[in-house]
Each structure stands twice: as structure tokens, then as C-alpha cells.
Amino acid sequence: MAAAGRANARKLAEMAVEETGYGNAKDKYVKNLLAADWLARRMRGIKTVGLLRELPDEKMVEIGVPMGVVAAILPTTNPTSTAIYKILVSLKAGNAIVISPHPRAHRCTCYTAALLSQAAVEAGAPADLIQCVDNATIDATNALMRHERTGVILSTGGSGIVKAAYSSGKPAFGVGPGNVPVLLDPSADLEDAVAKVVTGKSFDFGTVCSSEQTLVAEEGLRSRVMAALKANHAYIATDAQREALGKLLMMPNWTVNPQCVGQSPQKIAKMAGFEVPPDTSIICAEIQGVGKQHPLSAEKLSPVLSLYFVNGFDAAMDACFALLKFGGMGHTAVIYAKDDVRVRAFAMRMPAMRILVNTPAPQGSTGITTNVFPSMTLGCGAAAGNITSDNVGPQHLINIKRLAYVVRKPEEAFEMPLDYNAAPSTPGAVGPIDRQTVVAAVERYLAARGMAVGQSAPSAQAGGPEGVPPRPTVKAAAVSSIAAEVVEKLLARRGGPESGGGFS
């Protein structure tokens, strides 16, 4: 299947652009190869079905079990690469797959599915293991997700379809939107960083959900940042042009204008009422804050990058945090820096599940330039209402059965007595502390080690038969002192005599 995807990667990219009007074929070709080449190679050797591993020390055996039928909901922005990806990970996990394409990408998606299905059957797979819904509608998609034979849902698309997947009553993997901030630290190689930001933002005209949305930098870097952007053919919008872009890109209901998704910077500028040079890579517009008063601080799904200049590293961190909270919780954040202390601080602070360092965001988040798992479905974790924070792969589409052998008796698993009648009435208490009992216990301990308890210290001449070392004795007062110390230490360990704790 992967070989069929690679052989047709360029054709499928061109079909996707022709049918949807989103993005460009050159970058969609790369995304097709991400799934058909890099993902396929990364999955080799991963055990997914049958015996996964044996743990002899734990007397456990793990067995992989497919989930069944994967209901795969596909987007219009990445229709062929996502189809290749979902088919490969589903069958790698031993599942069948039924694809529900986006209505505006039906032809290229189902053609991709047919190519891979033919390759699978020729390799010995059962017929109809891969299917594509001919006339996808909202009702048909909902019926697929709720069907009794659907085992799991793998949903990619807008927030509406993701919510529908989670509301279907079936196990579901959906993802949240991205509003990726990029922090440009003074320690970074600034010119290299800006070039990479432009590369990421221009990739497939911004259709990847993890593409850069706002570049945050300290005010002292302004002139260098602007010069580097211009050197990479970025167009810097005027204040009036920024206002026009905000009105164009964001709809009244605060969703992205679908007419602008994945369009060239030249076309977007024209739609907004101004012109940009033919070689323009992206459009940049400076913003003064984050929120609905600043429309361009949201996700834009186009080659439009916001610029936000602040005073100091802490302010930059605050800005990136606010951007994620505004529409990208759990998704992706990027930092360009050589100072690893700041990199770690950024990673700890940001509510994002992928923190990328010194790499374009689309390429880093999908595993092209980093070692995160190659994926077209990027989980955003509980903060975004997602079941996983991982890059979803075949390992998420199996259940693991565990064969577990007995290793201990029940009473060996607990510190507390299992006898109900012997259990203490106060939770956590084994019994009252008796100081005399402890003294007697210490005396027995000393006696067992050859130390007798007496009233006086041993003399140098005291002893047994000739050649036998004298048997040492310990003053009773010393025993009491030792016992008292033991008692106090145990009391402290158990939280003190007032805590209700005790010891056996």
C-alpha cells in the first residue's frame, strides 16, 4: 500500500488541489510522502497484532487485539495524505477501515482509497478491507460513527465533526484546533529562525493545523526581525491592510473564512483589497494583543503570519500562553533559542503537547524534522477535550490483552491484615503504642545479639572461661533510653501520637 502511495504521490497531490482549491501541489506531494514513505518506514518492526512482548520477571504476556472497523473522517485541507495515513495505521493495527471523505474532496480521497485497496488485495488482504463512502453527507457520517460494527473513530476536521465523534458513544480519536505561537528568543540564530518560520508558514499555504500563527519577539529584535522577514520575501502589511485582513479572514461567528483557507498570499491580498509582489512568500501583520479585539491573533489557515513584539522573556511567555488559550489549547508551540534553560522554561509553561525547538512547525509536529511519531492526527490532550496528547499511530488502534500468572498470595500484597476481625477500627491504626512493650522488644533484640541487661556496666575482668570474651551487659537505664528513642522516632514517622497512627 505504501508503495502505491509513493508511486502516485504527485498525481494525488495535483488531484487534491484541483478538486478542493486548497494549498499547492508541491507541498501536498511532501505530505503524501510523509504518510507513504516516512510513516511506513517508522512503522516497520512495531508489533501490533498477536504476541507483543513477554515479561518473564513479571510473569506477564502482552497480546495485541485489533479494535475492528475504523470509521475514518477526513478533512478537505489534507484529503489524500490523511487518507494514506489513516489506511496504513488502521491496517497495520489489524483493522478494517471505512473512510468518510469531505464532500469537497470526495473524488481525490476515494481515488486514494481505491489505489491502496487494490494494492492490499494484490498482497493478499481480504476484499473490501478498505472502503470509501460514495456520497458522504452529515447524516451518513453520523450513521457510520454510530454503527454497531464500528470499533473506533479516527476523526480529523473542524470542531463540529470532532464533537460529533466524541458524542457518538464510540471510542474516538479527535483533535483540537491549532493556534501555534512561535517565541523567538534573543539567544537564537535570528536569521535562520525567521527563514524557518517563513518556510513553515508558507507550507501548503498554511493549511496544516500546526502551522505558525503568531511570531512573538522582544522589542529589541524588531529591526532585525523585519529585515529578515523581508529578506525571505515576506510582505509587511500596513495598519489599514491589517484591518482589512482581519475582516476578511475571520467570519462573524469567529470561524475562518473558507474562501481564504489555503490560498496564495497574492490571492488573499487581492481579496483584502491590496496587491503584493509576485514573489511574496507570506503576509505579515503586526498585532497589539490577543483576543477578539485582535482578529489576527486567531488561527488563520492561510499564509498570513501575525507579529507580536513585547518587552522581555516573561512577557513573551505570557503572550504565547495567551495565544494557546485563545484557540490552540494542547496543540503545538515553537521556540527558537540556543539557551536551553529558556527552552525548558518555555516547555514547562506552555499548555501544548508538542513543544518544538528550532524547526518549522508543520514539519516538526508531524515528525518530518523531529522524532515525534509521523502522523496526520495530532492529539491535544484533556485540555482540548481529546483522549490523547500523542501523535496518533497504529499503537492507538489496538487493545492490549494481558496474560498474567500468579506471583503472590493475597496476604503478601498488603501491609494491613486481611482478617476483617483483626483489622483496626481506626483507619491507618494497627494498635495503641505501649512503651513498655517497646522496651521489652528492645531487650529481646539486645539479648538475641549477646548483650545482657544489667544494673552496672561490665568490668574489664568480668567474663567466662579462659579464652572466651566477656559477655557485655547494658545498663537497664540505657535500654530504657534506647527504647524511648525508638518510640519517639516511630511516633514521628507515623505522624505523632495525636495522629491516630500506630505500629506493629
Q: How far apart are CA 321 and CA 378, in angstroms?
A: 19
Per-residue pLDDT at 500: 44
β-pair partners for 354: 332
Domain residue ranges of the chain, discontinuous segments joined by +: 2-174+396-404, 180-372, 421-499
Query: 2-174+396-404 maps to which CATH number?
Result: 3.40.605.10
* pTM for this model (two decimals): 0.82
User: How would you classify the pairing of strands 60-66 and 398-404?
Assistant: antiparallel
Per-residue pLDDT at 456: 46
Per-residue pLDDT at 498: 46
Backbone angles phi, psi at 226, to 5 degrees: -65, -40
Q: How far apart are CA 265 and CA 29, in angstroms?
A: 20
Per-residue pLDDT at 448: 76
Phi-psi group of 157: left, alpha or beta (phi > 0 → left; psi -120 to 50 → alpha; rest → beta): left
DSSP labels for 278-298?
Answer: TT--EEEEE-S-SBTTBGGGS
Q: How far apart are CA 361 and CA 209, in angstroms?
A: 10
> Own/partner pairs for 191-196, CB < 8 Å, 24+ apart?
191/224, 191/228, 191/231, 193/336, 193/358, 194/225, 194/228, 194/229, 194/231, 194/232, 195/228, 195/232, 196/336, 196/358, 196/359, 196/360
Per-residue pLDDT at 424: 67
Per-residue pLDDT at 476: 58
- The CA-atom distances, in angstroms, between 238 and each of 218, 244, 269, 276, 287 are 20, 10, 12, 12, 11
Per-residue pLDDT at 459: 44
User: Which residues does the annotation mark as catalytic?
Assistant: 209
Q: How far apart are CA 306 and CA 211, in angstroms?
A: 12
* Contact by Cβ (8 Å): 476, 454: yes
* Contact by Cβ (8 Å): 330, 390: no
Tell the burial category of 493 from Cβ atoms under 10 Å away from its Cβ (0-12, 13-18, 19+): exposed
- pLDDT tens digits for range 304-355: 999 999 999 999 999 999 999 999 999 999 999 999 999 999 999 999 999 9
CATH entry 3.40.309.10 includes domain 180-372: yes
Contacts of residue 61, defined as CB under 8 A and 6 or more positions apart, other chains included, come to 51, 53, 54, 55, 402, 403
pLDDT averaged over 10-residue windows placed end to end, the chain, 504 residues: 98 97 97 97 96 97 98 94 98 97 95 98 96 90 94 86 86 90 98 98 96 98 98 98 96 91 97 97 97 95 97 98 96 98 98 98 97 95 91 97 96 87 65 72 78 53 48 59 69 54 44
Q: How far apart are CA 481 and CA 439, in angstroms?
A: 9
- Grid coordinates representing 352? 501544548
